[in-house]
Amino acid sequence: MKDLIALIVFGIVVAALPLFVSSGFVLNIVIMTLYAALLGQAWNILGGFGGQFSFGHAVFFGTGAYAAAVLQVKFGWNAWAALPAAVALGAAVGAFIGALSFRYGLRGSYFALVTLAFAEVFRILSNTFDFTGAGVGLMIPLTESAGNFQFTSRTGFLYVILGFTLAACLVAWWLKHSRYGAWLQAVRDNEESAAALGVNVFRVKLGATMISGALMSAGGVFYVQYFHYIDPHIAYGPGVSIEALLAPIVGGIGTLFGPLLGAAALHLFGELTRSFMGDAPGISLMVYGLLLVLMVTFLPRGIMGLLSGSPPVRKGGSRA
């Protein structure tokens, strides 16, 4: 219950922010931090709570982004109407990839590679087909209005991304307190034991992949509405996949607040490195890589592990 109250307080504080802050620069950082937390939480639901590490979460993100863009540009849909369709499509892609992987018992690095491969296949497809704009990408028509999911001020976007991110966090909270969530974490910790208790391992993992895919594609829709543009590299390239796993790894895998903390820490860190080292290409990637190695080595439970102070227990491990 405490964590739910903390989540609500967090929501209220962020929602009140525009009353005190009018700087577009600051609001943009808050928006991008919440957006990173959304992607992180989406990844965390499958990777952290379900133990299925994906290296290709862009496959869901890009699907949501392209669904929103194509429905608007080619079919003249309203962006708000495209949102649920895009989210449903993200879940469907999750069902497809999950069914294929889990039916054949792919786990660990094999599952990670399959997701990576799917993201790459989708990137190549979107680079080829005309209706996704091929290599040129898609630009959505600029008609700024709230009814169009294109706000004239940052405040509108802030409220939308806050809503998305809180929704993702509520799902994570539900996973911590529900029977399904207990099943998912049991499968993560030990599939064989979970099966011995009658947990339907396949269905539980499939469900997590669909939820994760749905939330990730909501992130894709937001991206398109915020930046008005999508192309194959942005949608399905490795950048988004890395961004999605970075926040929970830094903040704390399998925890409710890990992705939020991680996203905040990363953005703070990103701003700092930018102001110290400038925008030289490749620098930030190198710094992030180094940070990731340090985190995994010294803080495997992320910032949350630092806060709770409990030592990590490796997957399936026992310390007899």
Partner 1 sequence: MLEIRGLRGGYGQVEVLRGISMSIGAGEIVAVLGSNGAGKSTLNNTLCGIVPAFSGQVRFDGHDVTRSRYTDIVAAGLIQVPEGRRIFPNLTVLENLALGSYLRGRAKREQNIERVFAIFPRLGERVAQRAGTLSGGEQQMLAIGRGLMGEPRLLILDEPSLGLSPLLVEEVFDLIRRLNDEGLTILLVEQNVGQSLAIAGRAFVMENGAIVFTGTPGELLANSDLKRAYLGI
Which residues are at the interface with partner 1 (CB under 8 A)? Answer: 179, 182-183, 185-186, 188-190, 192-200, 254, 310-311, 313-320
C-alpha closest to that of 217 among 308, 73, 94, 74 = 94
Give the number of other Cβ atoms within 10 Å of residue 279's Cβ: 9
CB nearer to partner 1: give 152 or 310. Answer: 310
Closest separation between CB of residue 310 and partner 1, Å? Answer: 7
Q: Please identify, using beta-carbon distances, which residue of 2 and 319 lies nearer to partner 1.
A: 319
Q: Which is nearer to partner 1, 297 or 318 (CB)?
A: 318
DSSP string, 140-208: -----BGGGTB-SSHHHHHHHHHHHHHHHHHHHHHHHHSHHHHHHHHHHH-HHHHHHTT--HHHHHHHH
**The tokens of 251 are what?**
């903040």
Nearer to partner 1, 22 or 200 (CB): 200
Q: Residue 181 Cβ, how far from partner 1 at the closest point, in Å?
A: 10
User: Min. distance of Cβ 297 from partner 1 in angstroms?
Assistant: 20
**Cβ atoms of residues 48 and 258 within 8 Å:** yes
In the complex with partner 1, the residue whose CB is nearer, 183 or 223, is 183
d(Cα 212, Cα 90) in Å, to the nearest integer?
A: 8
CB 203, min distance to partner 1, A? 9
Nearer to partner 1 among residue 202 and residue 229 (C-beta): 202
Q: Tokens at residue 158, please?
A: 């802030």
3-state secondary structure string across 262-307: HHHHHHHHHHHHHHHHCCCCCHHHHHHHHHHHHHHHHCCCHHHHHH
How many CA atoms lie less than 13 Å away from 248 in the CB half-sphere?
Answer: 25
* Contact yes or no for 73/58 (Cβ under 8 A): no
* Minimum distance, C-beta of residue 165 to partner 1, in the bound complex (Å): 24
Query: Looking up tokens 């947990």, which residue turns up?
Result: 199
For partner 1, the closer of residues 202 and 269 by Cβ is 202
CB of 194 to partner 1, least distance (A): 8
The whole-angstrom distance between residue 160's C-alpha and the CA centroid of its chain comes to 15
